[in-house]
Amino acid sequence: MHLQRIQVPDFRVLKDVDITFEKEFIPRVFPLGSQNGGGKSTLLQLIFVLLHCSTHDDRIPALKNILHGFKVDKNTDKRVLAKIDIWDGNKTMSLEFFCCRDSYANKLIVDRQDKEEDIICFSDISKADNLKRRVEGFEGERDELKEISILLESLGETRGLQQNRKISDIRSRLSKLKVISLENMRVDSTNELRKFLVTELRDIHTKLEVEYITLSDKAREIQKYLRSEELIYICNYEYFNEEGSILCKVENLDSEEGVSFLDDLSNKIFLAAPLTQMFIFLSPANRKLLFQEQNGGSLNETYYQYLDAAKTLLPGFFTYDYLAVDFIVESFKAARDEDFKRAIGTGEYGNSYKELLSELRTLMTNKEVSPTQDLLGVTFKMERDGEIVELNPEDLSHGELKRLSIYMWLKYRNIADAIVLMDEIEIALHPDWQYRIVSDLTEWAPSNQYILATHSYELCQALTPSHVKELEPRLIKQA
């Protein structure tokens, strides 16, 4: 995969962006520069969420959060978000992502009678999908109500504090079912209450099934018109108490082929950045926690919990801010297993484990990295005054750990033939290592394309001037 061109008319600080990344250039490493505030990080984040999240329901919230506030003006039906050209190895796919109002869909339908009740709403697609998931969960809700009924029947066998705890548990579980609250209800007649709850749940399920049938019919009608225009519906999102829809058109592919292409592409797009970049994928309300006073001078635990939760939903996102111990341990396990597999087949152990040790020794400048005997961690050692000594975390530089983490991430995830976006990769690296970034990446995973948001002249000087792309305001050249 190769990102050939990105055009962004107007998104946050990005204005009239039009950058080409030539697929013929060797190496396929492209520094992206500008002064602070020029939008380098924003551009990488936008590319990442559009290509990594659009076909995955669990990733869609990150896309919605990025686009929150992207307004479609009232005097227009459509606003282009980005145009992206992707080379898949055989041909160029042109993707146009845009946001629109429901009026855009209705203008597509020129053959129908304009009746108010027939007006098309893109949100009906999302609502139908949500109702489908709810309907599919009915059996689980019925099983949950059976368990609640058992609790109700056992209420008469308890008294005092124990009974109050059961009642609290029942209220909590009913609240999650959205059936009824026991806040103002007497619990004397548990049998009558149980019957009422069973009836209530059945009525709710019947109502939702009817609503789903109606909405799914509308959703199918909308999808039919979208397919006729070769458009892909992605999701709805909010801006200033209004709602818009995100659509994508893949040139020269029908909508089903386009979805398949986007789905394959989503597993070939990666973003590496400092952990602080993760906050942009949070909801607007959770982002504000970053600027709130920290409790007792300590880190805001809730904010960082949101960061961790968001990160788990974006498998293509990697942060430089921790040592990739899991990747290292799993790589040693994989090498061990490969050697054992070879021994079973040939009677002789392979060299995968030894080769991995050697690679890491070279990477860490003569420091040795090895797993603990229980394979739950790693140790670092080096020769000092003729003796092998174990190193503490403080004995390792931030730059060493960062290079090791990036190397292990690329190797362990087996990232190949991918588009890898990297933000501020040069931080904590000596100028000599900044210059080496290009050769490191092309040696570690040569089949990838790399787009590197950077302030490093040393990194840029490792390539031809044509490789270096810039956003306004451009970097001030060194004398």
Q: Is the pLDDT of residue 50 over 90?
A: yes
Sheet containing 269-273, strands listed edge to edge, beginning at the edge strand earlier in sequence: 317-319, 269-273, 419-423, 449-454, 29-33, 469-470
Q: Is the pLDDT of residue 181 over 70?
A: no
pLDDT at 479: 46
386's CB contacts (< 8 A; 6+ apart) are none
Q: Which residue has the higher pLDDT, 44 or 292?
A: 44
Domains of the chain listed by start with CATH number: 1-100+233-268+417-479 (3.40.50.300), 131-216 (no CATH), 320-403 (no CATH)
Of the ranges 189-198, 226-235, 370-379, which one carries the lowest mean pLDDT score?
189-198
Q: Is the peptide bond before 274 cis (omega within 30 degrees of 0)?
A: no
pLDDT at 111: 47
Q: Which residue has the higher pLDDT, 116 or 315?
A: 315
pLDDT at 52: 94
Query: 206-231 as b/e, with b when 16 or more CB fall inside 10 Å?
Result: eeeeeebeebbebbeebbebbeeebb
**Which band of pLDDT confidence, cut at 50, 70 and 90, is reported for residue 110?**
low
pLDDT at 404: 85
Of the ranges 81-95, 318-332, 378-392, which one carries the lowest mean pLDDT score?
318-332
Arithmetic mean of pLDDT, 295-315: 67
pLDDT at 417: 94
Average pLDDT value for the chain: 82
Q: Which residue has the higher pLDDT, 74 or 186?
A: 74
Q: Facing residues of 15 across strands?
A: 10
pLDDT at 4: 97
Longest C-alpha distance within the chain, in Å?
A: 88
What percentage of the chain has pLDDT greater than the value 90? 25
pLDDT at 453: 93
Q: Which residue has the higher pLDDT, 432 or 218?
A: 432
pLDDT at 158: 75
How far CA 287 is from CA of 53, 65, 141, 309, in Å, comes to 20, 10, 34, 13
pLDDT at 113: 47
Q: Around Cβ 71, how many Cβ atoms within 10 Å?
A: 11
pLDDT at 232: 87
Arithmetic mean of pLDDT, 145-165: 78
Mind listing the pLDDT tens digit for each residue in 421-431? 999 898 888 89
Reported pTM: 0.78
